[in-house]
Structure 1
Amino acid sequence: MSAARAQLSPRLALPGLLLCATALAGCNEEKSATPPMQPQAQVSIVVLHPQPVAITAELPGRVAANLVAEVRPQVNGIIKSRLYEEGGDVKAGDVLYEIDPAPYQAALDSAIAAQRKAEAAVTNAQVRASRYQELFQRNAGSRQDMDDANATLAQAQADVASAKASVETARINLAYTKVTAPIDGRIDKSALTPGALVTANQATALTTIRKLDPINVDVTQSSTNLLRLRDDIAAGRLRFTGLGVAVKLKLDTGQQYDKSGKLEFAEANIDETTGTFRVRAEFPNPDKLLLPGMFVRALIQEGIAENSFLLPQRGVGRNTKGEATGKFVGPDGKVEERVLTTRRSVGNNWLVDGGVKDGERLIVEGGQLVRAGQVVTANEVSVDEATGELKSANRRAELDAGNSAKN
């Protein structure tokens, strides 16, 4: 029995020895293996520097004509003809309508005849006054006769002056039968047609003329913004640029008007109902693109914020408290997150008052994939001011590739 055990032991021991050797080899391999290096996340950053920033206000407004003239007749009569093209441009002094001049021509002729009659009476009165003067000097006539003759002469001279005034009035009324344009501008359609009866200074205007070049834009500004603007100027955060600054226009289609205007005046009172006041700007309008009543948005430069930081909006987020935050790459390559003090938006940027220093690096892409304290690889890029997009078209592909390799 013991001999049989001695013979069987080597057979049973061999598989066990092989299993132990295999297990030991696996343990040695696990101890010698090292974990693979994780690649650093790649982010896009912009380097921040202080700069003077033009503070502009985008305000709603309406286009208004520079001059408006309602054309009305100044004499009674029948419209004989219309002498302008509706919707066209006219010059000051152009004849627009002609009222039947026949009765006014007759009145002028009658006034001229009355003036000549009065002048003839003056001649007769002068001769008579001279005769009575001579008789009185020779003691051949009475003083009363001489005084009566002088009074008659004075009355005749007054009649001449009155006749001249009547002639001038008749001449003016005759001239008023030709209704002329008081200003240069574009004329509307006619309210009346030839053959219509008109009266002097009637309520209904014959037509309206509007001067369109230059043209005005009236915008409204809130009193709250005015007070905030004055506080910023007083605190030195804003340098006032004064009236006469350039004003840009954005049309209702979103297109920007290609000509700049300038501020003309701001009202000195606040509307009690709306809490706003009106600001007027004047724009050149040679192509008549701007028309009265058109809705526009005016971009008015309020002042200059010196030594300010503009942070791309794509690099600024919000925390759970609603505060503006930004992620930065520190000198050691680690991500830092901090709260920012934003004042207002400027285009596709935020104007920041606090939380930023010169030369700091703000993450503008890839910040959602990293956390504070993480070491990252920073790639400097620039941001298109007009669109807010990165100017390097390949940056997103590079970031996606790097972050995929990390995962």
Structure 2
Amino acid sequence: MSFVNTLKYQLLLFLPLGLLGCGEQTIGAGKPKASLHVDTLTLEYSNIRLTSELPGRITAFKEAEVRPQITGIVQSRLYQEGSFVEAGDVLFQIDPTSYQSTVNSAKAQLKKALANEVTSKKSADRYVKLMKQKLTSQEQVDDANSSYLQAKAEVAIRQAELDYANIELSYTQIKAPISGQAGFSLVSDGSLLTSGQSDYITTIIQTDNVYIDMKKSSVSLYKLKQEFFSVRGKKHIVPVLITLEDGTAYEHEGHLEFVDTQVEGSTGTVTLRAIIPNPDNTLLAGMYVRAHISAPEARDYLIVPQSAVVRSQSGDSYVFVVNGDSQAVKKAVELGNEVGNGWVVKTGLSVGDKVVINNLMNLKNNLKVVVDSDKTTSQINSAQASQNKESTDTQSSLPQLSEQG
């Protein structure tokens, strides 16, 4: 076999393989790309009453730090720690011996001054009579009258000294300045207390009502005030509800009591203070709670699930909406309050828009999609309400464990 014939033979062997590969490439290039399958939510208005949730801290309605006003030794504690005390109740008794002695001395000095006043008065009156009879001089009359006035002033001085001694004696009984729950005693019998000491010996907290201190954006606070003003007029009350740290809703409703007059420059927030009833002393000073401030009335809003919102690297929010040509179109949105598992949409969407709620990782702008299922906002809300009801019924049907002593 010649070299030429051998080359022809080899070419004939590779030719079918080359044609077969070209055929596969042609078939692969002509195969249409599969459309992405998605589910959508057709937006409808939801009539809801928006609520702002703010972290807050409980502060006592009134709190008094009890300190001694005199120096002395504690004889006894006369209240039960943690009990309710009335204003004026004696909490501690300081040894009154030395202060009682001072009072007794002041009383004696006052009696002496009073006796001297009487004598001076009589002497002055006698000199006045003698002067009328021209049996004495005017100078002697003036001296007698001056002695009487000095004796009278001495009485006033001794009376003031007695009053001050009685006040100090009364301070040996340390009394409750306000009514409320008395705290732990920080001193024991035999302890030395000093006048003007910085350390308090106990505290009294009034907790029938408590304050909730929180912070809110000055802009959002202004908008909330405007809403209440437009609905309820100038004399409006802003209701406040709270949730405890474990998620339990507190049964009593409070109201906004005070708004600070200055905005914090670094954060742009303003301090709010609400007052809320606390008849069972459930709320303790220092507790952290979640405060809920509701809008004055319910309004219509568009709400999208949080899982349907995509955020860009710059922090901008957008969603994908399926248009009439079955294409996923990216739309920028401005979000408002958080409502359950959704966001209130301020701008960017309209009623009837079909928002894509799954397969977001594979979506691209203007990508052809196939809608597998489409539900409306009302259908989603009804399904969630039924699910919550079933969950509640299941929990109520569980056997309850009772505590046994």
What TM-score do you get using the length of structure 1 for normalisation? 0.70
Q: Encode CA deviations 1:356-378: one digit per residue, 9 max, x unaligned.
A: 555x486798999xx75759686
User: Matched residues in 2 for 1:192 and 1:106: separation?
Assistant: 25
Residue 122 of structure 2 aligns to a residue whose secondary structure is: helix
The question of whether the paired residues in 2 share the 8 Å contact of 1:264 and 1:282 is answered with: yes
Residue in 1 that maps onto 2:137:
142
- Go from structure 1 to structure 2 and tell me whether the alpha carbon gap of 1:317 and 1:283 turns closer, same or farther (over 3 Å shift): same
Q: Map of 1:128-167 to 2, 5 A cutoff? A: 128-167=123-162
Q: Map of 1:40-59 to 2, 5 A cutoff? A: 48-49=44-45, 51=47, 53-56=49-52, 58-59=53-54
The question of whether the paired residues in 1 share the 8 Å contact of 2:113 and 2:151 is answered with: yes
1:193 and 2:185 correspond:
no
Shift of 1:297: 2.0
Aligned mate of 1:245, from 219, 238, 243: 238
- Go from structure 1 to structure 2 and tell me whether the alpha carbon gap of 1:364 and 1:248 turns closer, same or farther (over 3 Å shift): farther
The question of whether the paired residues in 2 share the 8 Å contact of 1:327 and 1:367 is answered with: no
Matched positions, count: 341
User: CA RMSD of the aligned region, Å?
Assistant: 3.9
Residue 74 of structure 1 aligns to a residue whose secondary structure is: coil
The question of whether the paired residues in 2 share the 8 Å contact of 1:311 and 1:350 is answered with: yes
User: Matched residues in 2 for 1:392 and 1:294: separation?
Assistant: 33
Residue 389 of structure 1 aligns to a residue whose secondary structure is: helix
Q: Map of 1:375-394 to 2, 5 A cutoff? A: 382-384=379-381, 389=384, 391=386
1:325 and 2:319 correspond:
yes
Which has the larger Rg? 1
192-201 vs 268-277, which deviates more? 268-277
Runs of at least 5 residues in structure 1 that lack an aligned partner in the other structure: 1-40, 394-407
Q: Map of 1:6-405 to 2, 5 A cutoff? A: 48-49=44-45, 51=47, 53-56=49-52, 58-221=53-216, 225-227=217-219, 230=222, 244-272=237-265, 276-301=269-294, 306-313=299-306, 316-318=308-310, 323-325=317-319, 339=331, 340-357=333-350, 360=352, 382-384=379-381, 389=384, 391=386
Percent identity reads 32
41-50 vs 144-153, which deviates more? 41-50
Residue 248 of structure 2 aligns with an amino acid whose one-letter code is Q
Shift of 1:306: 4.8
- Go from structure 1 to structure 2 and tell me whether the alpha carbon gap of 1:362 and 1:256 turns closer, same or farther (over 3 Å shift): farther
Q: Encode CA deviations 1:85-144: one digit per residue, 9 max, x unaligned.
A: 122222211110001112212211221122121111111111111110011111111001
96-105 vs 340-349, which deviates more? 340-349
Residue 351 of structure 1 aligns with an amino acid whose one-letter code is V
Residue 104 of structure 1 aligns to a residue whose secondary structure is: helix
- Go from structure 1 to structure 2 and tell me whether the alpha carbon gap of 1:52 and 1:380 turns closer, same or farther (over 3 Å shift): closer
User: Matched residues in 1 for 2:60 and 2:373: separation?
Assistant: 59
The question of whether the paired residues in 2 share the 8 Å contact of 1:72 and 1:206 is answered with: yes
- Go from structure 1 to structure 2 and tell me whether the alpha carbon gap of 1:52 and 1:164 turns closer, same or farther (over 3 Å shift): same
User: Matched residues in 2 for 1:81 and 1:125: separation?
Assistant: 47
User: Matched residues in 2 for 1:378 and 1:54: separation?
Assistant: 24
Residue 54 of structure 1 aligns with an amino acid whose one-letter code is L
Shift of 1:170: 1.4
- Go from structure 1 to structure 2 and tell me whether the alpha carbon gap of 1:162 and 1:95 turns closer, same or farther (over 3 Å shift): same
Residue 213 of structure 2 aligns with an amino acid whose one-letter code is D
User: Matched residues in 2 for 1:392 and 1:214: separation?
Assistant: 38
196-205 vs 175-184, which deviates more? 196-205
Shift of 1:300: 2.4
- Go from structure 1 to structure 2 and tell me whether the alpha carbon gap of 1:338 and 1:229 turns closer, same or farther (over 3 Å shift): farther
User: Matched residues in 2 for 1:80 and 1:375: separation?
Assistant: 84
Shift of 1:50: 5.9
User: Matched residues in 1 for 2:262 and 2:231: separation?
Assistant: 20
Residue 386 of structure 2 aligns to a residue whose secondary structure is: coil
What TM-score do you get using the length of structure 2 for normalisation? 0.71
The question of whether the paired residues in 2 share the 8 Å contact of 1:318 and 1:325 is answered with: yes
- Go from structure 1 to structure 2 and tell me whether the alpha carbon gap of 1:382 and 1:83 turns closer, same or farther (over 3 Å shift): farther
Q: Encode CA deviations 1:274-307: one digit per residue, 9 max, x unaligned.
A: 5543221111111212112222222223666854
User: Matched residues in 2 for 1:179 and 1:53: separation?
Assistant: 52
The question of whether the paired residues in 2 share the 8 Å contact of 1:190 and 1:206 is answered with: yes
User: Matched residues in 2 for 1:337 and 1:147: separation?
Assistant: 111
Residue 350 of structure 1 aligns with an amino acid whose one-letter code is W
Residue in 2 that maps onto 1:32:
none
- Go from structure 1 to structure 2 and tell me whether the alpha carbon gap of 1:233 and 1:90 turns closer, same or farther (over 3 Å shift): closer
The question of whether the paired residues in 2 share the 8 Å contact of 1:55 and 1:305 is answered with: no
The question of whether the paired residues in 1 share the 8 Å contact of 2:117 and 2:148 is answered with: yes
- Go from structure 1 to structure 2 and tell me whether the alpha carbon gap of 1:67 and 1:229 turns closer, same or farther (over 3 Å shift): closer
